[in-house]
Structure 1
Amino acid sequence: MATSSPGVRSWRTAFLTLRDETLIPPPPSAILALLQNVVLPHPSATLIAAAVQLPPHEVTSDVVLLAGLASAALECPDAAAASVQICHLIHDATCSIRLDINSSCWTTMLNFFEKITKQLLYEADTVNFAGVSTTRVEVISEILEIIRHIYRTYGPKSSLSENTELVGILLCLISCLHTELLTVYHSNFPLSPATDIGVISPKSKSLWEMQTIAYSIVGEALSKLGSSISANLWQCVLEGLRKAMDFLASKNLIVEDYVMSRFYATLLHCLHLILSDPKGSLSCHVAGFVATLQMFFTYGLSSRSFINPTANGSINEENGASNLKSRFVESSKNEQGRYKPPHLRRKETMMQSPKSLSYADSELSKNGFTSSDSDHSDGDGFAKFEDHYRSSKARMAAINCIQAICHADPKSLTSLWTILLPENDVLQPRRSQATLMTCLLFDPISKIRITAASTLASMLDGHTLFFLQVAEYKGSVKCGSFTTLSTSLGHILMQLHKGILYLIQHQTHSGLLASLFKVLLFLISATPYARMPEDLLPNVVGSLRTWIMEDLANKHIGLLGNAFSCLEAALSRTPPSVNVLKILEEDISKDHAHTQQGSSLPHILLQLSEKGRHPSLKLDALQVLKALLHNYPSLVTRMWENISSVVYNLLQTPNTDEFSLDVCSTSWRGESGKAPRPNIEKCTMAGVKLLDECLRAASGFKGTELTDGLQDCRSIDIQILSDFSRRIRVSSAPSYNLDGPVALKCSMEEHPSGSRLWSEVIKKHLPLALSHSSSMVRAASVTCFAGLTLSVFSSFNKENQEFVISSSVSAARNDEVSHVRSAACRAIGVITFFPQVLTCSLVLNEFIRAAEFNTHDPIASVRITASWALANICDSLRHKATTSFSECSSSLNLDPGSVSVLVESALRLTKDGDKIKSNAVRALGNLSRFIQFTDLSSPKFSTPDYTSLNDSPEGINQLLDNDCKTNFGLSSADAWKVSGFRDSDWLERMVQAFVSCVTTGNVKVQWNVCHALGNLFMNDTMKLTNMSWASAVYSILLLLLRDSTNFKIRIHAAVALAVPASRLDYGSSYADVVQSLVHVLESLSSDQASSPSSFKYKGSLEKQVTLTTLHVLGFVTTEDEQVLKDFLIKRASFLEDWFKRLLTSLLETVDEASSSKDTTSEDQEDIHIPSALKKTMVRAAAKSLRDVYASSKMPSIAHRFEKFVDRFSVNP
């Protein structure tokens, strides 16, 4: 039947003729003539009627042939009319028949679309198209329809290159449509806001519909391209979207109808795809995008669509909260009303929508370019909120775009916080200048509120932790008055707290609550509460406590876990809050005053930690208690009895005895197998860590008191003179800012509870914890020993001291689990500073044996703590050796073999990683301070070769097992200076290790090398002038002082250079040292710190270099080499000015100290001692320079320095 149809015969005849005539490609003009004579004379309707009767593959082949020939013909200047007819024919065929397109066919079609699109875009002013804008729009519409129909079937199979080409074509079409829209709005609605019009003109409606189709296809293609999109295409799409967004903003084209709602949704969806994977900079686009996106925050929400808190839509401070609560509760009930399946919701929507939809709307719906049925949750009450136009999708897309910008360019977004976040009246709904909090508080769609919360969390996360530290709240600000950035940020943080806490108290949607807790967690971490109102942090803690008490009845375990995370973060904020402490103390006092307890936060946490509670709640409660006691340690004694009981019960619970069946079988919401429940081991470990926190708080542990005073006097004098001291805050130490001792003297009278609590724990808890089957529990229990203080350990009886020592050594040597041994090494590194350990050689030998054993562990974390313990042992030995006349330095017979083990181990560890290398260098520096480096040829010190034992733990044990109780006939005081083994070889190897570590180690290794060299220089048994390596070592120190970008390294290098006590110690390097120090002094004024963290040490560096230079200049004599004298003569002017500044500085220091009313006579004496020392050094340096200038026949300069000598008298 089909073959006998006249139309079919005409179709086949026409296309057979085309094929025959184009077997040899003719010129474009011949092709155009052929098309005009063979195909175009036939009516389009006749051809389409025939095509329907033909097989699809035949029609596809013919259509592709027609597109290919039309592409070639478009090169002719008069091909415009023919191209329009051919496009119309291809459009009708595509809409009538499902073409069987493959890759080759699609490429040909894209080529045709590209050429005709360029014709439309760049030749619109030709005769054919001039003044016929309607024709051009029709062609664009037909091209879009062709692409949409073909892409619907072929799109999933399209390649990356095809999608790239397609996006480029669509961008050109969108540009053409944009030009038409500009013409329409310029002629019809100049300067008239679209919201005032309320509708769009019929003339522009079709243009918006076509743009919707174009952006829909662009979105599909971009999704397929994903991260493979090229940077050039990404930039083109971005600029096209920016042009569209700017057009909307300039014309205020935010119209609430079906056509525009669809356009906004597709446009913003494309923008979100582009912003989610940036291929270039967004900084110049962020402000424009944000300004337009903000306009969509309340799009589609009429005044009655808001969840109005009161009748007049505002809130006052007195009764606003209750009214808003009632509205939110009502909204939540409505959202959780009767379930309506998606198909019924859609049917209901279509019934309520406008009766007549445009062709493009219906086609979009038919072909899948619509909102998903799951755009709204089942509880949103979609029909109730009358979202006829699916405007919520546009709101959702706008918020998603803000979140994408936050991830792509957070720095640019921070400058726009005042646009996106409220500075006042957060609980009042606003349609104009809406913020993300407006969406979060008042949008009727829960998914949009959740998305807004997620966007807020993204904004508060990351670098904003530093950005918000400048925030400061200064009370209410007058409207319109200038406010600084810090003040604006302070007000924003206040409003965020107000809005988030309010929602948490009054919201019941579990998904939204989870998002709110995430926002609150980031908000707590980012807010500088010390610069905010005093009651802000207490309000956060109180609100969370109230919510937890109310939600325990709902048993939503997931949300409770989120709330506990926020509570832990709030209680961990530093500095601690005095008001939070007062609230906690008052709550505990109220609980003690009433027989029925249970309202205070500590009591709630303790109750949740008891036996029979849900494992997740138990673990969370224990962690929150630890955070609470870490920041507020004064509460320990008031809570100790309950904490001790809870932890003891945990330790007595067998691992096989999981939580009671009634608790586990109870239905807890929010635990649908997403995460495994914590087992008894994790809870027990958390309990032991809580115990550790209590012990540290009761003992007054600060973490720095153990090493206070262990610095060498000669080195520390120089650092005191330069006012440089390292103040370290140990994170594991409780915060004593509010209630603890400010300056801990380690006296037992200040912390009498520490000894009592420790005695109870040693007797009751630790025996169970140290023998626990869980390695996590054993590691936590051994870590408790690392929190001991000297005062508490000294108060122990002999049995308790032996328990601590033996438990630490046993765990370090015998436990099979690496992290338990690591914890034991850390405990050993602390305990080794106690005098009770230093006076017992057997204990020291056991500590050395345990630490050295773990330096061979294959796990790096174990070797780090083992090397740290080894370095601490060496530090304590150095302190003992250099303070032989102190009260605590009784005689000690240390095995020479033990010293050998320490040296060999440290030398071996200098070849390990940087963290281990740093500890090894510190150990060698301490050892080099007191070891007597003597001549190996002396028969008294000749020993067997232990080289083969260096890398073997068993060999080291043999060394330790040797009963070396003799001290080679020397007194026990001299025994400290006995090298015992291979001392001269050690010296060379130590120096080689220091040099190697300087070149291969990180910053910490380098400044440890500087400190170690300072210790080595202070060894009185070594003559620096006779050492061949001395000049190389001085060169390294000078190189670090001059070129290092880290100021702390430069300070330590300057300190080391100031240690040699005589001119001879500097040897041939003396001239280089003097010249380098003077050059450094000259350049310090122009030095730029490599980072802000280094800049804060610049003043200390200047003072230290000044003192080191004075020390070195004091050794200058008239007999020095001429090169040095010439250098000093050239720098005479600089040195004279420098001495003048020193004189002024010293006089000001003395005057300030004398005029201070708060300074006692004893303090004034302490201040005067460094000042006198400085004057002595300055006087000696000035005298040396005077002599040099006098001998160089420069009497005027010598005379001026003579005045300096007189002025810098020790007696004021």
Structure 2
Amino acid sequence: MAAMERDMRALASGATVGWRRHGESIGRAAARAAGRLRRGAAATERDEGRAEAMRRCWSAFVEFVVRWGMSSEVWGVGARSGVCEALTRLACRRDDEGDGEDGEGTSYKPPHARESDENIAMCEKDACDLRAGACGALGALARLNGKALHGAWATMLPTSEHQLREKSVSTSLVKVIACDSSAKVRGAAANATMALFEGPASRQYLAIAERREAATSAGANGAASSSLAPGFGARVRSFSALSTTLGDMVIITLRALLTALSREKNAQCARELCKAVAALCDAVPFDRFPRDLLRETVDSIHAKLVHLSAETPSDRSTIQSALFGALASALSARGATRALDEYLSSDSSSSMIYRMISHAKGEVAGSRCEAFSVLRALVVHHTGAATLIGDELRELFPSAVCASGADDRVCQASARLLTDYLGSVSGSGQVRDDDEVDFGMIASTPALPSEVLRAAWTNAIESQLPTCALHKSALTRVAGLNVLTRVNSNVLTCFGSDVRTLDSLLSMPHSVLSGSHESVPAVRAAACRALGFLIYLPCVNLEETAAALLIAAEDVSKSVKIPAMWSLANLCAVNATRENRLCDDTVASLAKVLIASAAEQGDKVRASATRGIAHLIAASTFDTSHEWLHKAAQSLASCLTTGNAKTQWNACLGVAALLQNDSAMDVGAYWADFIVRMLLLLVRDAKNFKIRLHAAAALAVGARHERLTLAYVDSVSVLTLSLEALEIQSTAFESQSAMDFKYKPALICQLTTTLVSVLAVARVDGAIGDALKKSHAITLSTYQSLRDYLDGGNSDARVVASFKTAVPLVNKAIFDTSLNNIVASLLATQPSLSARALADAFGALAFSFSHP
């Protein structure tokens, strides 16, 4: 035992050089140590002295796990599972357990073997600290590298309700929450459970979880099998898919957390339970689960809120804050709209909704802000319920809240509620910055009739927004400007020909950027972002907007430059679609700012600047007087190989615009070969699939406009080799990220379209024939897939969608022209039997084949 204790101390201190250098060795050592501790526990815990030594060994082991965690190199899967299992067993272990034959132990001790009350209290405290430390170690591991623990979830989470029974030999963090007598240990277990579900990696892992069966079922005696997870724990299966196993874990864990929350008396522990419920709601796809599950969650949280009156004021404040957070997460969970809309629109939910409104009108600033967060989740994800309480919500908008002298945080929360309400009833919903979408014109069906919608926006323009604009709090002014990002085509329709009202909307961000009274960068940044959305409105004066944004682009604050450059790129995109375009002087000023930003600023600014340059080139007709064209071409060439992925693929779009613009190429034709070869390098070597996709699209545009010049043969070779590499690539092991898997079908289809566009150029070359003969199998397969699509025979939705979005579109005539050129090139190489056989194979794909 002494030797084991020394080993544990050495392990915890990291004294061994090999353990410091090699993470895998550390993992194996930890797994072996965990095994020794598990085996030694049963043999020593009856001996009090040896039991104390064992406790010290466990303590050292927990210290080691927290110290080293996953921060060394990569632990083996077996080591991770072994460590997690050992820590979970330790979290569930109690010193009063025996080692009877049934494995369940007994808490009875004869009088002569009992210790004094003081010693018992000390041992119990040490045991609680040790169990809480084990839970804390698991939480630390999850936060350091949550993805690495996914394989060990089965050792930490239950898949059956029977595993949560106190006398069950099964161990899990949830069992600690359900059965442990110490609030400290329960809180630590809840915190560790929350850590398991936090983060994007866990959301991706749980995205496959599902449980589509009924939420209740009768047991053998006709009664429900359990209050925790009826119908799911009692079922015995010989095999369960991973999605089903994860679904069981979700249902058992969530219901156990809700049950524990309803019974919990300790405020700190209840707070941790609420955080765990919130993390689980954020991670789980509830659209793949029974609808009743989310309703149970909302009802349980509301029931806990109702019974808070019996708590002390400090405890009530602590628990209430956490409950509001959990309720907001439940209302905004994935699938919550489908699961809760009908329930929230019924009378049965009115008490919960009006309780939130009551809290939002209260006197304590903290609870008011949290109640506003719940109402925002309700408004965004449950529009039908929000329209039913529109009159009550108007009492919480800025004109009423700010006039009452409320705290600045409450005023900001009120303005954010106004933003979400107007966006929801207008059909805007949630918005996010995305280079490739015209937000301002995107709209779903509005939730209110046109007259009512107009009245809501009129009230906002005349009363609510001026109140926000004049408020002393900068964050409230920011929230007021964010309302403008919810203006869409539905809002335009409801106002009709009322240009005055729309002009008043546009004047708000203009007054912030053009005047000198606003000194807070966050407000100026919000004004820039608002203009970036409003720029898509047909009544916007592009010259005035360009003048305001050019001023913002020179701002010394980086937080202002980022949205200013994003909005300038949107301005350039809109300019390319208007008949009355910007004058040459304004375009030159825009080009100067964009080119300088693409060369000097950070990645976010560079990406937007590069996109703006692309739109300016596409909308311009050049001659030798346009000095900025040469600098723009150099800037695009630089951005093709530097900066983040977004900068590079926007540079590819800019190069495509350059290759497509005949006047630009007449002025600078010497760029063509250099830029095309840079595109080929990206198609061949770029790790990011989206960069390769946009580079291939730009290359296709160059081929269609016959800009390939000396790189024609190299283009065919690179495209065929890239298609062949994708064909044999095992995406699950070789791609860089999940985004690669997402874009792989689109990349294959774009490479196919680009190859067809390149080979459709009327050119017969023996070198092309040699290149095609080397990769004839993949080329033939590629053409077959495109022919199936053109002929309407391809049923794969992803392939069809990818071909529809490929640039430029390929029709049957271009397809046949490409095949004619392939056949001619093959036969030009040498009229051998193999060449003619390949030519016949390609010719058989043609819709109408003219070559002899």
* Cα offset, 1:894, TM superposition: 3.9
User: Taking structure 2 as the reference length, what is the TM-score of the superposition?
Assistant: 0.82
Matched with 2:410 is: 683
Structural mapping, 1:961-976, within 5 Å: none
Counterpart residue identity of residue 681, structure 1: D
Structure-2 separation of matches of 1:390 and 1:1190? 90
Counterpart residue identity of residue 1012, structure 1: G
Instruction: State yes or no: 1:845 paired with 2:540.
Output: no
Quick one: structure 1 residues 1025 and 750, their matched pair in 2 at CA, closer, same or farther if it must change by over 3 Å? farther
Instruction: State yes or no: 1:935 paired with 2:624.
Output: yes
Quick one: structure 1 residues 1035 and 584, their matched pair in 2 at CA, closer, same or farther if it must change by over 3 Å? same
Q: CA contact under 8 A between 2:753 and 2:809: conserved in structure 1? A: no
The one-character-per-residue Cα deviations of 1:258-308 (angstroms, maximum 9, x if unpaired) are 4354333323222222222128676555555565662673424479xxxxx
Q: CA contact under 8 A between 1:995 and 1:1033: conserved in structure 2? A: yes
Quick one: structure 1 residues 684 and 1054, their matched pair in 2 at CA, closer, same or farther if it must change by over 3 Å? same
Quick one: structure 1 residues 1137 and 799, their matched pair in 2 at CA, closer, same or farther if it must change by over 3 Å? closer
Matched with 2:644 is: 1002
Structural mapping, 1:388-399, within 5 Å: 390-391=123-124, 393-394=126-127, 396-399=129-132
Instruction: State yes or no: 1:297 paired with 2:66.
Output: no
Structure-2 separation of matches of 1:706 and 1:505? 41
Q: CA contact under 8 A between 1:1042 and 1:1080: conserved in structure 2? A: yes
Instruction: State yes or no: 1:912 paired with 2:669.
Output: no
Structure-1 separation of matches of 2:248 and 2:438? 31
Counterpart residue identity of residue 594, structure 2: A
Matched with 1:418 is: 154
Alignment partner of 1:1131: what SS? helix
Quick one: structure 1 residues 392 and 1054, their matched pair in 2 at CA, closer, same or farther if it must change by over 3 Å? same
* Cα offset, 1:685, TM superposition: 0.8
Matched with 2:338 is: 578
Alignment partner of 1:471: what SS? coil
Matched with 2:537 is: 834
Q: CA contact under 8 A between 1:650 and 1:683: conserved in structure 2? A: no
Structure-2 separation of matches of 1:802 and 1:514? 48
Quick one: structure 1 residues 799 and 450, their matched pair in 2 at CA, closer, same or farther if it must change by over 3 Å? same
Structure-1 separation of matches of 2:42 and 2:796? 68
Q: CA contact under 8 A between 1:706 and 1:789: conserved in structure 2? A: no
Q: CA contact under 8 A between 1:706 and 1:790: conserved in structure 2? A: no
Structure 2: 5+ residue stretches without partners: 99-109, 214-230
Quick one: structure 1 residues 1009 and 353, their matched pair in 2 at CA, closer, same or farther if it must change by over 3 Å? farther
Structure-1 separation of matches of 2:782 and 2:714? 24
Instruction: State yes or no: 1:514 paired with 2:271.
Output: yes
* Cα offset, 1:471, TM superposition: 3.1
Q: CA contact under 8 A between 1:429 and 1:438: conserved in structure 2? A: yes
User: Taking structure 1 as the reference length, what is the TM-score of the superposition?
Assistant: 0.59
Question: In structure 2, which of residues 842, 846, 849 is the aligned counterpart of residue 1208 of structure 1?
Answer: 846
Q: CA contact under 8 A between 1:258 and 1:389: conserved in structure 2? A: no
Structure-2 separation of matches of 1:1115 and 1:240? 64
Q: CA contact under 8 A between 1:651 and 1:684: conserved in structure 2? A: yes
Q: CA contact under 8 A between 2:139 and 2:193: conserved in structure 1? A: no
Counterpart residue identity of residue 499, structure 1: A
Instruction: State yes or no: 1:603 paired with 2:354.
Output: yes
Matched with 1:661 is: none
Structure-2 separation of matches of 1:879 and 1:276? 58
Structural mapping, 1:874-913, within 5 Å: 874-880=572-578, 889=579, 892=580, 894-910=582-598, 911-913=600-602
Counterpart residue identity of residue 684, structure 1: C
The one-character-per-residue Cα deviations of 1:409-461 (angstroms, maximum 9, x if unpaired) are 75665444434433213663215334433433333333333333333334444
Counterpart residue identity of residue 657, structure 2: N
Matched with 2:821 is: 1184
Aligned-residue sequence identity (percent) comes to 22
Question: In structure 2, which of residues 787, 791, 799 is the aligned counterpart of residue 1150 of structure 1?
Answer: 791
Structure-2 separation of matches of 1:296 and 1:1065? 68
Question: In structure 2, which of residues 184, 198, 210 is the aligned counterpart of residue 447 of structure 1?
Answer: 184
Structure-1 separation of matches of 2:763 and 2:525? 55
Quick one: structure 1 residues 399 and 750, their matched pair in 2 at CA, closer, same or farther if it must change by over 3 Å? same
Structure-2 separation of matches of 1:265 and 1:729? 63
How many residue pairs get aligned? The number is: 788
* Cα offset, 1:230, TM superposition: 5.1
Q: CA contact under 8 A between 2:529 and 2:563: conserved in structure 1? A: yes
Structural mapping, 1:1046-1195, within 5 Å: 1046-1060=688-702, 1065-1087=707-729, 1088-1118=734-764, 1124-1132=765-773, 1134-1135=775-776, 1138-1139=779-780, 1142-1143=783-784, 1145-1147=786-788, 1150=791, 1152=793, 1173-1189=810-826, 1194=831
Alignment partner of 2:735: what SS? coil
Matched with 1:269 is: 59
Quick one: structure 1 residues 552 and 653, their matched pair in 2 at CA, closer, same or farther if it must change by over 3 Å? farther
Q: CA contact under 8 A between 2:275 and 2:322: conserved in structure 1? A: yes
Counterpart residue identity of residue 478, structure 2: A
Quick one: structure 1 residues 1076 and 1170, their matched pair in 2 at CA, closer, same or farther if it must change by over 3 Å? closer
Alignment partner of 1:1097: what SS? helix
Instruction: State yes or no: 1:503 paired with 2:202.
Output: no
The one-character-per-residue Cα deviations of 1:679-705 (angstroms, maximum 9, x if unpaired) are x11111111111111111111116789
Counterpart residue identity of residue 1185, structure 1: I
Matched with 1:864 is: 562
Q: CA contact under 8 A between 2:423 and 2:486: conserved in structure 1? A: yes
Alignment partner of 2:162: what SS? coil
Quick one: structure 1 residues 261 and 706, their matched pair in 2 at CA, closer, same or farther if it must change by over 3 Å? closer
Q: CA contact under 8 A between 1:1089 and 1:1095: conserved in structure 2? A: yes
Counterpart residue identity of residue 368, structure 2: K
Matched with 2:137 is: 404
Quick one: structure 1 residues 256 and 848, their matched pair in 2 at CA, closer, same or farther if it must change by over 3 Å? same
Structural mapping, 1:355-366, within 5 Å: none
Question: In structure 2, which of residues 519, 527, 542 is the aligned counterpart of residue 816 of structure 1?
Answer: 519
Quick one: structure 1 residues 1015 and 794, their matched pair in 2 at CA, closer, same or farther if it must change by over 3 Å? farther
Counterpart residue identity of residue 586, structure 1: S
Matched with 1:640 is: 390
Counterpart residue identity of residue 1180, structure 1: T
Counterpart residue identity of residue 294, structure 2: L
Structure-1 separation of matches of 2:91 and 2:645? 51
Structure-2 separation of matches of 1:994 and 1:682? 44
Structure-1 separation of matches of 2:191 and 2:706? 69
Q: CA contact under 8 A between 1:275 and 1:401: conserved in structure 2? A: no
The one-character-per-residue Cα deviations of 1:586-613 (angstroms, maximum 9, x if unpaired) are 13xx68xxxxxxx532211111112x43
Structural mapping, 1:757-836, within 5 Å: 757-796=456-495, 797-814=498-515, 815-836=518-539
Alignment partner of 1:299: what SS? coil
Structure 1: 5+ residue stretches without partners: 1-172, 179-210, 304-350, 358-381, 592-598, 659-679, 709-725, 734-742, 838-842, 881-888, 937-982, 1119-1123, 1157-1162
Matched with 1:466 is: 204
Q: CA contact under 8 A between 1:257 and 1:389: conserved in structure 2? A: no
Structure-2 separation of matches of 1:392 and 1:413? 29
Structure-2 separation of matches of 1:1138 and 1:540? 55
The one-character-per-residue Cα deviations of 1:1140-1165 (angstroms, maximum 9, x if unpaired) are 65246524763548999xxxxxx99x
* Cα offset, 1:729, TM superposition: 12
Quick one: structure 1 residues 230 and 849, their matched pair in 2 at CA, closer, same or farther if it must change by over 3 Å? farther
Matched with 1:26 is: none
Q: CA contact under 8 A between 1:1178 and 1:1208: conserved in structure 2? A: yes
Counterpart residue identity of residue 1111, structure 1: S
Structure-2 separation of matches of 1:1115 and 1:237? 59
Structural mapping, 1:240-279, within 5 Å: 246=36, 249=39, 252-253=42-43, 255-256=45-46, 258-278=48-68
Higher alpha-carbon Rg: 1
Structure-1 separation of matches of 2:192 and 2:643? 42
Quick one: structure 1 residues 254 and 571, their matched pair in 2 at CA, closer, same or farther if it must change by over 3 Å? farther
Structure-2 separation of matches of 1:256 and 1:431? 21
Q: CA contact under 8 A between 1:832 and 1:872: conserved in structure 2? A: yes
